[in-house]
Structure 1
Amino acid sequence: MNFELIQLPKIEDVRGNISVIEKNVLPYPIKRVYYLYDVPSSAQRGGHAHKEQLEFLIPISGSFDVVLKDGKKEHTITLNKPDKGLLIKTNVWRELENFSSGAVCLVIASGEYDEEDYIRDFNDFLTHQSE
């Protein structure tokens, strides 16, 4: 499937750790950054795929699950460490669920918002996969 877990560089210090995302960490230039927060534990986010945009998800605080589907296989990845992120490449259906209290999901995207790049219906996604 078209995803990759990436260990971020981590600078450890007794005063607190720092993780850095520089140009060599992601395989694309950063065009948009946004974050999800105050998500109820029973809520689900995502529910779409991108035709061309790549996204890198980082659990800045707390934890959440990312369910990934390609039409044949399904993987659930739990993100719970702020120095490890999930790169979701093109044509992967994603659903975010099981948010812990206080969870924050940072998303670093390869493109600006473009509604035309989204596939928001799973049946449309399956059709797109078979083309």
Structure 2
Amino acid sequence: MDSLTPPHHPPSRPWQSTGALVLAGIVIAVAFVSLLLLAVSGFIFDPDDYPPEFYLALATEHKRDMLFTLLLPAVSLVLAGLSWFSSARAGARVLGAMWAGGISVLLALAMIFVGVGNINGALYFADLFGG
């Protein structure tokens, strides 16, 4: 008779999905701070003090900075998806995962906007002071 009974499946643990959602929130907070730092890094106080080579190197640095800051919303989006799919869909977890995913996408779009603006600004100054 034991061979006919279905195997015992342990119940899903709700802390896994809640923990992933809390981690997604923490990563979103860090991503927001990195967005602010990305915006500040593109500010050039006195642009005519530097040669055009400086701005070409700065454009490369802005590309690297944008790449690394975009990793944070990607991680929070993965964590929100993990929270969504890891357990039964309770209302609070579904809304939290949707919120975290939406905020992650908005942060990624804002980072792309700011990062491309920084890169274009550096290339503009390189072209302006290049002769």
Place the TM-score, normalised by the shorter chain, in its bin. under 0.3
State TM-score, norm by structure 2.
0.22
State TM-score, norm by structure 1.
0.22
**Higher relative helix content:** 2
**Higher relative strand content:** 1
Higher relative contact order (CA 8 A, sep 6+): 2
Max Rg structure: 2
